[in-house]
Amino acid sequence: MRKFALVGNPNSGKTTLFNSLTGSTAHVGNWPGVTVDKKVGVYKKASEQVEIVDLPGIYSLSPYTSEEVISRNYILDEKPECVINIVDVTNLERNLYLTTQIMEIDVPVVVALNMMDMLERQGDKIDEKQLEKRLGVPVIKISAFKSEGLDELMDRAIEFSKNDRKGVSVLEGGELEHLIGDVRIALEGQGVDNSLFHAVKLVENDEIEMQMHPQTVKMVDDFKKTFDSEVFGSDIDALVADARYKHISKYYSPLLVRSNKGIKFSKSDKADRVLTNKWVGIPIFLVILFGIFHLTFSENFLWLGSIFNLPTIESLNLPDTFWTSLLACVYDGVIYSPGVILFNLMELLTSTLFEYLGGLIESLGASSWVIGLFNDGIFAGLGGILSFIPQIVFLLLLISILEDSGYMARVAFILDKLFRKFGVSGRAFIPMIMGFGCSVPAMINTRTLADDREKIMTLRVIPFFTCGAKVPILVAVAGAIVSACGFGNADIITYSMYVLGLAVAVISIILMRSTTQKGEIAPFIMELPAYHAPSFKNLMIHMWDKAKHYIEKAFTIILFSTILIWFLSNFGWDWKMCEIDSSILASIGKFMQPIFTPLGFGSQLGTYGWVFVVAAITGLIAKENVIATFATLAGCIGATLIATEDGAFEVAEIIRYIASDINVSAYSLWPAMISFIVFNMTTIPCFASVATARGELKKGTAKWTILFWVLTSYMTSTIVYLVLSWWWTSFIVIGIAILSAICIKIHNKRAKVK
Ligand code: GDP
Ligand code: MG
């Protein structure tokens, strides 16, 4: 099969084109640096199938960051039959800068002029025929977004890829050309492939190149000496870049005829004057963020329930029908937010379905342990997870809208100044915000950070950006705190937990910067992409991807864990069924219980406190396990001990039961429950992210990173529990914090003196 590679600047539309050509669903975002690894798909519409590879965006073939190296090496080593160079026509000069470098490689190149729809909307025109003549390779106008011109692009690329092509350079005339020519001949003598490309890079003093051909470096230096040394000073790479840009502005730029519209401030610029404003930029962002949480989590949408005195469903005395349950999903004296409505609907659906299936199993005359396994184990666990999927996906949809519109890139920009005070650049914000979705892609995205220390710190704090899988813990435990303990308000608890996560991230970065990760903060350069309405297709792709991810997890790892937990909690060490209290799981949980005493959910919770311990530990595998474990265990405990009316408030039931068991009011348990949430939010997120961290970091660093998560969660939860239980301990905490800060300062001063 033929193999074509998509190469171009970040944000030029490569992934959009890739998705259109191959029907894939890769992540498209309106900011540079979304694709950080190569992706492969197949184009099937032509007479022969073509393998298409989407590569991370690059500005130049002299890369700085590890994901840029991927692109360069791919073109040179994997030898695709054709390089499709995507050029964003609205940024012609800068995009062609890369083109002039790709042209130096001995590979067929086809230039796809993308974003033609935008160009035409601005009323600008480009003479692509002439550009084709001057470049010497096919040039095709396309719009990846609207899938226009793609067939022509592929037809010509297939045609063009049938013949070999020799690299050509725009670095012509003068001593530069001579020097490159000399080096090239020498490399050819050594049998080096792509001699022109390597010659140019060697002349540029490109770092990777100099490591690859160490013997030749000396020779190149000798060549340089034979020329006027003034010309080839230390800044030779700047000289080469300048020559490229001169060529571009002389021969290519005039082919783009701009209408006068472009001179006026575009709508994007106008919006940016407000959205990236020094004073209101950050407050606007916080309001938008709160809006998102309100839409997703609030049980009192727009405070309508408080403004109008609406009747509760109970007071309406409706008949107990399906329609009443449906109404109860939307309304109960208050109007629920869309996220909560989605949750309620899905819960209604799954509980109806599982009730039916449970009845079916019973009617088949299954033995009692099988009924127990299905009803209290599998159905309870799965139901607990599946009900949350629409709500999680809705939250991620809202975040995707901000990403795809181009707003998130602005936020990175306005936060840069603030982030610098803490010790990272604004660039780190993007992987961090991806952490709200899932830690794994977020951690992979840290590849876009050029600075190693910044990368380590960002990767470490990503779990503190509450990922989608943690949403059920927040919602269920916060809900239980409200309903069982009678404390607070669910969406405020949820929001404060998110904010606490951010605070932990900031404090950790400050601490790391002043101890193990000292160093300069990398400069932050990122072009701001133009705003545009998010594409419906992209949003659907995002949503489906996320939903699929959670469903897959629910039916694999979570299902397996729930079955295991059911068995461990129904069988004793003698492998006979027994009361939950003498089960294998209970004895393991009870053994570990004292470890969690300082955090508030250890030994002090008495006989059934181990439920929280077990939930927290299974959560280390995947965070959905926490809720699945509660659901299963509440089913088991409920079946033997408590008469639960419905399975809806598993956590609340457990809290009530524990409170009566240890003879305290349920209210007094809220600090422990908050501490439980905090522990789950700040600890090892899941096995998948541990594996990712190990892949992204060096061995030693990965080990420390895991230890860092364990320690941070343990200490943060302890502090939260202490302060919430006895407010005056906050003075002790503040005292210790100040003391530690002073110690670090003194230590750093001493280290400097040495
Ligand atoms: P990549 O970084 O090169 O992979 O670029 P993406 O495919 O992620 O696209 C970057 C942004 O440009 C996204 O917001 C796309 O929706 C948008 N985009 C891509 N192609 C076009 C196009 O032809 N026209 C317009 N107007 N926008 C496009
Ligand atoms: Mg991409």
Q: What is the 3-state secondary structure (H, E, C) of 486-509?
A: CCCCHHHHHHHHHHHHHHHHHHHH
The answer to whether residue 193 scores a pLDDT higher than 70 is yes
Tell me the C-alpha distance between 172 and 543, whole Å: 50
Q: Dump pLDDT digits (tens) for 321-375.
A: 889 999 999 998 899 999 999 999 999 999 899 999 999 999 998 888 898 899 8
Q: What is the pLDDT of residue 646?
A: 45
Residue 43: which pLDDT band, with cuts at 50, 70 and 90? Answer: very high
In the sheet that holds 109-114, the strands lie side by side as 39-43, 50-54, 2-8, 82-88, 109-114, 139-141
Q: What percent of the chain has pLDDT over 70?
A: 97
Residue whose pair of structure tokens reads 């409170």 in the numeric block: 659
Which tokens belong to 753? Answer: 């003196």
Tell the residue number behind the tokens 């600008």, with chain if given.
124
Q: Please tell me the predicted confidence (pLDDT) of residue 170.
A: 92
Q: Is 143 in the pocket of ligand 1 (CB under 6 A)?
A: yes
Spatial separation of the C-alpha atoms in residues 313 and 325, rounded to whole Å: 10
- Measured from the Cα of 114, ligand 1's closest atom is 23
> Distance between CA atoms of 88 and 334, rounded to whole angstroms?
49
Q: Return the number of other C-beta atoms located less than 10 Å from residue 209's C-beta.
A: 21
Task: Give burial (CB, 10 Å; 0-12/13-18/19+) of 372.
Answer: middle
pLDDT score, position 698? 86
Res 641: pLDDT: 53
Closest CA to 649 of 392, 476, 469: 476
Question: What does the DSSP assignment read for 61-129?
Answer: SS--SHHHHHHHHHHHHS--SEEEEEEEGGGHHHHHHHHHHHTTSSS-EEEEEE-HHHHHHTT-EE-HH
- The predicted structure's pLDDT at residue 269: 82
From 414, 624, 619, select the one nearest 528 (Cα to Cα).
414
Record the pTM: 0.83
Q: What is the pLDDT of residue 234?
A: 67
Looking at the predicted structure, is the pLDDT value of residue 24 above 60? Answer: yes
Average pLDDT for residues 373-400, to the nearest whole number?
89
- Cα Dmax for the chain: 98
Query: For residue 46, what are its two tokens?
Result: 């032509």
Distance (angstroms) between ligand 1 centre and the Cα of 559 equals 38
Q: Is the CB of 14 under 6 A from ligand 1?
A: yes
Q: What is the four-CA torsion angle of 342, 500, 546, 694, rounded to 10 degrees?
A: -160
107 Cα–ligand 1 center, Å: 25
Question: What's the pLDDT score for residue 29?
Answer: 74
Pick the residue whose CA is nearest to atom 24 on ligand 1.
Answer: 115
Q: Is it the case that residue 457 has pLDDT exceeding 90?
A: yes
Least confident of 72-86, 388-402, 457-471, 533-547: 533-547
Q: Does the C-beta of 448 come closer than 6 Å to ligand 1?
A: no
Six token digits for residue 17: 């084109």
Amino acid at 41: G
Q: Is the CB of 12 under 6 A from ligand 1?
A: yes
Residues whose CB falls within 8 Å of the CB of residue 102, separated by 6 or more in sequence, listed in order? 7, 61, 75, 83, 85, 109
CA 272 to ligand 1 center in whole angstroms:
19
460 lines ligand 1 (CB under 6 A): no
Q: What is the pLDDT of residue 143?
A: 95
**d(CA 54, ligand 1 centre) in Å:** 13
pLDDT score, position 293 = 85
AA letter at 701: T
Task: Report residue 208's pLDDT band, with 50, 70 and 90 as the boundaries.
Answer: confident
pLDDT at residue 647, as a whole number: 42
Q: Which residues of 31-66 are buried (b: 16+ CB within 10 A; e: fewer)?
A: bbbbbbebbebebeeeeeebbbbbbbbbbbbbbebb
Mutation test residue for ligand 1: of 28, 90, 153, 434, the one with most atoms within 8 Å of CB: 28
> Which positions ≥6 away from 152 have C-beta within 8 Å?
140, 142
Closest CA to 543 of 430, 399, 330: 399
Q: Which residue's CA is the nearest one to ligand 1's atom 10?
A: 11
SS3 467: coil
**Measured between alpha carbons, how far is 380 from 113 in angstroms, rounded to an integer?**
54
d(CA 619, CA 629): 9
CB of 10 within 6 A of ligand 1: the answer is yes
| 118/131 Cα distance (integer angstroms) | 19
pLDDT at 582 over 70: yes
Q: Does 30 sit in the ligand 1 pocket, CB within 6 Å?
A: yes
Taking CA atoms only, the protein residue closest to ligand 1 atom 2 is: 11
Q: Which long-range contacts (CB under 8 A, 24 or more apart) does 283-287 make?
A: 285/411, 285/414, 285/415
Q: How far is CA 32 from CA 83, 91, 177, 518, 677, in A?
A: 20, 14, 33, 27, 34
Angle, in degrees to the nearest 10, between helices 389-405 and 471-480: 130
Ligand at minimal distance from the CA of 16 is: 1
Give me the mean pLDDT over the 604-621 stretch: 92
Question: Where do we find the tokens 């992987």?
Answer: 431
Is the model's pLDDT at 635 over the cut of 80? no
Ligand 2 center to 21 CA (angstroms): 14
Give the DSSP letter of residue 535.
P
pLDDT in tens, 556-569: 998 999 899 999 98
- The number of the ligand 1 atom at minimal distance from the alpha carbon of 33 is 2
Element (H, E) at 4: strand 2-8
Q: List pLDDT tens digits, range 254-271.
A: 999 988 655 555 777 888
Adjacent-strand bridge partners of 8: 86
Output the CA 83–ligand 1 centroid distance in Å.
18
Q: Are 625 and 619 in contact (CB under 8 A)?
A: yes
Tell me the three state secondary structure of residue 230: coil
Q: For ligand 1, is residue 28 a contact (CB within 6 Å)? A: yes
| Best of 14, 15, 16, 39 for a ligand 1 pocket test (most atoms within 8 Å of beta carbon) | 16
**How many angstroms does the Cα of residue 56 sit away from the middle of ligand 2?**
6
How many CB atoms are located within 10 Å of the residue 223 CB?
20
Return the pLDDT at 385.
86
> Do residues 55 and 69 touch, judged by C-beta distance below 8 A?
no
Q: How many angstroms separate the alpha carbon of residue 360 from the centre of ligand 1?
A: 50
Query: Best substitution site from 15, 145, 407 to test ligand 1's pocket, by max atoms within 8 Å of Cβ?
Result: 145
The response to whether residue 57 sits with its C-beta less than 6 Å from ligand 1 reads yes
For residues 391 and 474, give the distance between their C-alpha atoms in angstroms, rounded to a whole number. 12
Closest-lying ligand 1 atom to the alpha carbon of residue 35: 4
Amino acid at 751: A
- The C-alpha angle with vertex 451 and arms to 445 and 456, in degrees rounded to 5, equals 60
pLDDT band with cut points at 50, 70 and 90 for residue 644 = very low
Q: Residue 657 corresponds to which amino acid?
A: Y
pLDDT in tens, 215-236: 888 888 888 887 765 666 667 8
Band of pLDDT at residue 164, cut at 50, 70 and 90 = very high
Give the Cα separation of 129 and 131 in Å (integer): 5
- What's the chain's average pLDDT? 89
Closest ligand, as measured to the CA of 14: 1
